[in-house]
Amino acid sequence: MNYKVSILKSLIIAGFLLFVNSPIISQTLDDYIGIAIENNSSLKVKYFDYSLAQEKVNETGAFESTEFDMGVFTFLPETDGASALLNIGVSQELPWLGEHKAEKKLQKEKAIINQYDIATSEKELTYQIKELYYSIYEKQAIREVLKTNKEIVIRYERMATNSLESAGFSMEDILKIRIQKNELHSRMFQTYNEVEALSKNFNRLLERDEKTVLIIPNTLSVLDIPVGIVRVENHPYLLRVQQLENIYNAEEDLVEISRKPEVSLGLEYVFNDQTNEPNSILNGKDILIPRIEMKIPVFNHSHKSQKQQIEIKQDQLFYQLKQQKNKLEVNIEKAQLSFDNAVVRVVAAQKNATETQRTIDLLIISYETESLNYSNILRLQMQKLNYELMEIEATKDAFIAKSRLEFLSE
């Protein structure tokens, strides 16, 4: 007996030290979601992707590099009244009217895709947080129910022991009660381990110290779950697909402009030396040569294939959007069914637990006038425990199903 007391004291002290050394901050589910969004590494990567896309917009539209060239004549050719010494040239390729605007528009449309990727990732992370949050609630609630039922079974054990001493009852009932008590004790400590493991994973998901103590409510009611209309029209999944149409339209505009000629303006300056013809008017005069270059895609028909590819992708979008919307609606129906069934299970479990408790109360009252059937009362107590556990599990399932609906809706 002293050995058991020593172990119990050690557990209490260890739990107290863990409680003292662990930071505790009163936080709600929304607070946890905010912490996760702020700390999540995957989201940070997507934020950087969006920043890079924005910089790509700023980069787009710049002129091509100006070309400079210089040449020295190793064999001095003679021009009209002069001998060429050095040739210097400069040229600048100019965009067709509206080309830079079209390129910048395309990059802006591509950058918007990153916004929808971020929104989708935030919704996915939020759902993961809620799912794990309600799973921890379930394990904690199960632990408390097992603890309460263990205390009740211990009370039955005392009653049976007293009956044994006063009326000569068999040890069979007492042994059954003790076996059930040990089973409850074992299951209770299993839930301790499960809560600890889930809490560490929860803190890892928040990317913070895994020893941080969580504040999870002791009770949840399905009556507290808000019921609203689920819409999918503005879900990031669908908006991302719709945004592809804007990208393809911008690509199409750019392909049309690429069919135009490429124009380059240039200027050459030739340094000349004097010749032996002093009477020449151009003797020793330098030469300035303005130049314009134009590239015309006479034989380049790649733009036709590019335009055809864009049209194919635009036609494909209709079916992609339809497929994604159907997928969302199917998953919404599944989540709604899970929610409805969970609520039904909660109500049924509550009613059955109440009726079972009434039967137990009647048996306890009858104990005052006649002997108590411990096998019967123990069976009823375990049956009530199953109903209580069923209610907890169904409550968790209802909240997770509702979270799933929120994830699937806009």
The per-residue pLDDT for range 322-345, each reduced to its tens digit, is: 999 999 999 999 999 999 999 999
3-state secondary structure of 354: helix
- Fold annotation for 24-62+95-261+296-408: Outer membrane efflux proteins (OEP) (1.20.1600)
The residue that leads in pLDDT, 72 or 158, is 158
**Per-chain mean pLDDT for the chain:** 82
Domain boundaries in the chain? 24-62+95-261+296-408, 64-94+262-295
Q: What pLDDT is attached to residue 30?
A: 93
Between 82-96, 299-313, 323-337, the lowest mean confidence (pLDDT) is in: 82-96
> Roughly how many angstroms between the first and final C-alpha of the chain, as a whole number?
60
Q: What pLDDT is attached to residue 60?
A: 76
Between 65-79, 99-113, 347-361, 373-387, the lowest mean confidence (pLDDT) is in: 65-79
CA nearest neighbour of 227 among 82, 2, 409, 387 = 409
Contact present, 46 and 117 (Cβ < 8 Å): yes
DSSP string, 19-84: HHHS------HHHHHHHHHHH-HHHHHHHHHHHHHHHHHHHTTPPPPPEEEEEE-SS--EETTEEE
CA nearest neighbour of 404 among 360, 346, 339, 349 = 339
Q: What is the pLDDT of residues 156-200, one digit of tens each?
A: 888 778 776 555 456 777 888 889 999 999 999 999 999 999 999
Section 60-82 average pLDDT: 64
Q: What is the pLDDT of residues 139-156, one digit of tens each?
A: 999 999 999 999 999 988
Copy the structure tokens of residue 186: 């074992």
- Is residue 13 pLDDT above 80, yes or no? no
Q: Could you tell me the maximum CA-CA distance found in the chain, to the nearest angstrom?
A: 150
Between 8-22, 99-113, 149-163, 237-251, the lowest mean confidence (pLDDT) is in: 8-22
- Is residue 386 pLDDT above 80, yes or no? yes
Between 94-103, 215-224, 316-325, the lowest mean confidence (pLDDT) is in: 94-103
What is the percent of the chain where pLDDT is above 70? 79
C-beta neighbour count of 141 within 10 angstroms: 23
CA 35 – CA 32 distance, rounded (Å): 5
Q: What is the pLDDT of residues 210-250, one digit of tens each?
A: 999 999 999 999 988 887 788 888 999 999 999 999 999 98
- Is residue 288 pLDDT above 60, yes or no? yes
Write down the H helix ranges in 259-373: 302-366
CA 384 – CA 153 distance, rounded (Å): 12
Residue 20's pLDDT band (boundaries 50, 70, 90)? very low
- Is residue 271 pLDDT above 80, yes or no? no
- Is residue 404 pLDDT above 70, yes or no? yes
Q: What pLDDT is attached to residue 122?
A: 95
Number of separate helices (H) and strands (E) present in the chain: 8, 5
Estimate to the nearest angstrom the gap between the alpha carbon of 337 and the chain centroid: 24
- Is residue 3 pLDDT above 70, yes or no? no
Q: Which helix (H) or strand (E) holds 89?
A: strand 82-94
Q: What pLDDT is attached to residue 73?
A: 64
CA 111 – CA 56 distance, rounded (Å): 9
CA nearest neighbour of 257 among 113, 94, 112 = 94
The residue that leads in pLDDT, 94 or 380, is 380
Q: What pLDDT is attached to residue 205?
A: 95
C-beta neighbour count of 313 within 10 angstroms: 16
Q: Is the dihedral of CA 36, 40, 44, 46 positive or negative?
A: negative
Kindly report the pTM of this predicted structure.
0.80
CA 157 – CA 178 distance, rounded (Å): 7
CA dist 223 → 7, 14, 357, 395, 398 (Å): 41, 37, 23, 10, 10
CA dist 311 → 63, 250, 315, 318 (Å): 29, 12, 6, 12
CA nearest neighbour of 285 among 68, 72, 85 = 85
